[in-house]
Copies of this chain bind each other. A is one copy, B any other.
């Protein structure tokens, strides 16, 4: 049904002069065109004609390469994303036990000047539209970092440096701050009164230090109604 992607036989026949493209190149350009259109208008809001036009070929050729529109969608999700550089930097920061740098790297990677909202939009669309690959997409795009952060938090709790929080939930919370910020800014278009760097700094500091001003030494075993107004 979907033996579409990759066919590394003999020689890959790419004669790139300016005549025809190889199958690989053509598929890549179709995937690129489809990705930005699906991100902009959703799966059912995008027509195969639009995609073909954006890639500069006929609609018929699109169906030569991908048997259905849905297969094209899947090919996008299967294709995208390697963040090996970020990962290396993160692992270095983790090895150094440099909390602030680790969190700043994570936040700054998503909240920065040229950040491309395409992947975020695709992820949200595929989640909302209930595409079967959305969870795979989520796993590939987010889960990696999510697990990495949860693992780090866990280690830092063992170090005695972090409070005894739930690592999973805490990692979720931090990504929540970042993702939500991007939804407001990149998707809803809500303007920003600070630079990206200032925003990242504020979020990281807030997350690490909390909102309440330096509680005294108690606070450790505050597992029941600790912050009531009357002591």
Q: Quick check: A170 and B211 within 8 Å, CB to CB?
A: yes
Q: Does A172 contact B (CB under 8 A)?
A: yes
Q: Quick check: A211 and B207 within 8 Å, CB to CB?
A: yes
Q: Mark A212-231, 1 if CB is under 8 A from B, else 0.
A: 11110101100000111100
Q: Quick check: A210 and B209 within 8 Å, CB to CB?
A: yes
Q: Does A203 contact B (CB under 8 A)?
A: yes
Q: Quick check: B181 and A179 within 8 Å, CB to CB?
A: no
Q: Given B44, B101, B193, which contacts A44 in the complex, CB threshold below 8 Å?
A: B44
Instruction: Report chain B residues within 8 Å CB of A124.
Output: 124, 128, 183
Q: Mark A118-138, 1 if CB is under 8 A from B, else 0.
A: 000100110111100011001
| Interface hit among A7-15, A17-25, A61-69, A157-165 | A157-165
Complexed CA–CA distance, A160 and B186 (Å): 34
Q: Does A180 contact B (CB under 8 A)?
A: yes
Q: Quick check: B177 and A228 within 8 Å, CB to CB?
A: no
Q: Mark A159-190, 1 if CB is under 8 A from B, else 0.
A: 01111011011101101111111011001111
Instruction: Report chain B residues within 8 Å CB of A210.
Output: 163, 206-211
Q: What are 10 of the A-B contact pairs (CB < 8 Å)? A: A101-B228, A121-B128, A138-B190, A162-B211, A170-B202, A170-B206, A170-B211, A172-B184, A175-B180, A209-B219
**Told that A41-B44, A135-B189, A165-B206 touch, could you supply 17 new A-B pairs with CB distance under 8 A?**
A99-B227, A101-B227, A101-B228, A124-B183, A127-B188, A128-B187, A138-B188, A162-B211, A162-B212, A169-B203, A169-B206, A170-B202, A173-B177, A173-B206, A176-B180, A208-B210, A208-B212
